[in-house]
Amino acid sequence: MGILSTRMDPEPSRRVLRSSSNRNSEANNRERSVDLVAIEDYDDRRNADSVYFLRWFYNPDDDDYDELDDTEDDYDDTEGDDDDSYDDMVNIHFDGIPMRRSIPHPRTDLKPNTTKLKNSDFYLLMQQNAGLRHNKAKERPNSVLQMIQARQTGMFGADRFTAGDQAKISSSYFPTQLNHIIKHNQKLFCGVYSNDGSRFISACQDCNITLYNSERDEFKPISTITGRDVSWSILDAVFSPDNNFIAYSSWCDSVHLVPLNKDPEDQISLSSCSGERRFCIFSLAYAADGQNIIGGANDGNIYICHLERDKHTRIKAHSRDVNAVSYADDSSHILYSAGDDGLCKVWDTRTLNENSPKPVGILAGHLDGITYIDSRQDRRHLITNSKDQSIKLWDIRIFSSADALNKTEKAISSHAWDYRFQKAPKKFCKNVKSLEGDSSVMTYRGHSVLQTLIRCRFSPAFSTGQRYIYTGCASGQTVIYDALTGEIAAALTGHSACVRDVSWHPYRNELCSTAWDNIIMNWDSVSKMSTSPSRMVGTRLRRSMRLAQQKKNKEQMRKE
């Protein structure tokens, strides 16, 4: 019955932790050379108020790095669609400097179209895994107490819950209660649990990775690891499958490995030998056996690092930046890649030829570049997050036609906006027309993908049956979708800047959101049956209620 254990406090119990990376803040500030340059100033039509977008130039070595800006991508000096897709404004700060910047609260007028979803294998599989599909003769009750009573009396022919029953009960306890926060000095780019949930790492723009003990719901800093050859920021950090190493990447030509059971200073550098003056690996993924690491880079290539052989394979994969990579399952034979060309490609490592690489198939349907991939680890289904302000669900048994690929290329080449500095065009938010030939199973809308490569993931199999899809959002929210309906199941508010990374504990109903307001928020479970209507799953917050909740969170943070 540990699955039912949760605090039922009406008000969240919050504890504030200071990152151990704060010790070197003064030294870091002295070493950083920051020049703020205003690059855009235009009137907001609805509010008749000026919005200033600032570009940062980070020059740690005072030589050839002054062309990098506040994001991972190369800057494209073009003007975008100035439609009023969003109208809310908030005040945020960068290093203590107040500035007014548009942070959208996502809004769409589309009702999710579930026609393809309900006719898919995914739909049946999810219903079974989430405990929503049984033989009518043995249909389960909805009440948790009734389910416990039925189990005790052997009503369903067994004295224990099935995995689906457990997921159904666990899904009644959503991580919507703000438990505690962790403060850092600068923007946070990554925050993820280890495979067993015992550890948590955060990667910050101060070039530090902080390792926490997360065996309990109270995070305790274990160590702070200073990144090597870091330019601008650490952009991705992942645990090895055995949790003995951390791999991280940045704007440099190497991936670094950090041993966790030895001296963290004994880092291993894996050079890509790219030959590019400006090189960056945006995304990393470990093979299940821990022998290989794959990375997606800004030169359009996938890099496969073979750790035992100390060699690497370079695969020309995309025509633009590769923003995301992932393995399909624990066999590590199938991998996915996606990038700014809007395509997700499927590769078989057993047939890869470095001189003439050919994907097994290609998935097309997004209207703009892809920022992240998460595999369901079943070698069939995956999700992609995109700058077209949507998440798409895919089945790799259904590839796209050549015509769909051409239409994707045409759609992306017609755009004239920069997601890092501008609002999303209205065509991505209202009356969105699907790409002809879109082979995705389902599209999820209601969050915003702006400013950075925002991540999305499937919820854990153990506690939810992977029924939910959750993502960060440029509005400062963490948005959780019901994968079976396309509706927003919950929207966690509290951050004052973009939530770049999100991570759900593999076994506990606990979620961490990592954001550009320098804060990690830890959200704990609270029963939907005991919450107020504004917090119940399936209920959206009104704007006034949302602002009141944000104000309340800020007041509590100041008190602590």
Q: Going edge to edge, which strands form the sheet with 188-193?
A: 188-193, 199-204, 208-213, 220-226
pLDDT grade for 232, boundaries at 50, 70 and 90: confident
Query: What pLDDT was estimated at residue 262?
Result: 87
Residue 523 tokens read as 């959200």
Quick: pLDDT tens for 511-533.
999 999 999 999 998 644 333 33
Comparing CA positions, the residue from 223, 245, 187 lying closest to residue 28 is 187
For 539-557, what is the mean pLDDT?
A: 61
Is 2 in a helix, a strand, or coil? helix
Give 161: exposed, middle or buried? Use CB within 10 Å, 0-12, 13-18, 19+: buried
The average confidence (pLDDT) of the chain is 78
171: DSSP letter: T
Q: What is the CA radius of gyration of the chain?
A: 23
Q: Which residues pair with 49 in a beta bridge?
A: 44
> Are 364 and 395 spatial neighbours (Cβ–Cβ below 8 Å)?
no
In the chain, % of residues over pLDDT 90: 58
Q: What is the identity of the amino acid at 148?
A: I
What pLDDT, on the 0 to 100 scale, is given for residue 119?
Answer: 96
- Predicted local distance difference test score (pLDDT) of residue 309: 86
Q: How confident is the model at residue 88 (pLDDT cuts 50, 70, 90)?
A: very low
Confidence band of 288 (pLDDT split at 50, 70, 90) = very high
Q: What is the pLDDT of residue 149?
A: 62
Q: Quick one: pLDDT band at residue 551, thresholds 50, 70, 90? A: confident
* DSSP states along 268-296: EEEE-----SS--EEEEEE-TTSSEEEEE
Count of C-beta atoms within a 10 Å radius of residue 333:
15
Local structure of residue 552 (DSSP, 8 states): H
Q: Tens of pLDDT along 160-213?
A: 666 666 666 677 788 999 999 999 999 999 999 999 999 999 999 999 999 999
3-state secondary structure of 405: helix
| Three-class SS state of 167 | helix
- The arrangement of strands across the sheet holding 499-504 comes to 16-18, 173-183, 519-527, 511-515, 499-504
pLDDT-wise least confident of 87-101, 182-196, 314-328, 396-410: 87-101
Which amino acid would we find at residue 88? D
Least confident of 30-44, 112-126, 243-257, 332-346: 30-44
Closest CA to 387 of 439, 425, 433: 425
Q: Alpha helices of 370-454 — where are they, by DSSP H?
A: 402-413
What are the two backbone dihedrals, phi and then psi, of residue 258, each rounded to the nearest 5 degrees?
A: -115, 120
CB neighbour list of residue 269: distance below 8 Å, 6 or more residues apart:
228, 229, 254, 255, 256
- 112-168: pLDDT as tens digits: 999 999 999 999 998 888 777 765 445 666 666 666 666 665 555 566 666 666 666
DSSP state of 528: G
Q: How confident is the model at residue 539 (pLDDT cuts 50, 70, 90)?
A: very low
Q: Where are the alpha helices (DSSP H) in 52-155?
A: 115-118, 121-129, 144-152
Of 305, 364, 376, which is closest to residue 338 (Cα–Cα)? Answer: 364
What distance in Å separates the CA atoms of residue 243 and residue 211, rounded to the nearest whole number? Answer: 12
- Please give the average per-residue pLDDT across 495-510, as a whole number: 97
Q: What is the pLDDT, as a whole number, of residue 155?
A: 59
Chain length of the chain: 560
Q: Each residue of 28-62: pLDDT tens digit? A: 443 333 333 332 332 333 333 323 333 333 333 33
pLDDT at 537 over 70: no
Average pLDDT over residues 334-355: 96
Q: Which tens digits make up the pLDDT trace of 443-476?
A: 999 999 999 999 999 999 999 999 999 999 999 9
What is the distance in angstroms between the CA of the first residue and the CA of the last residue of the chain?
Answer: 34
Q: 518: which 2 tokens?
A: 């320098």
d(CA 230, CA 122): 41
Sorted by where each starts, the structural domains of the chain and their CATH numbers stand as: 115-120+171-559 (2.130.10.10)
486 — pLDDT class (breaks 50, 70, 90): very high
pLDDT of residue 140: 62
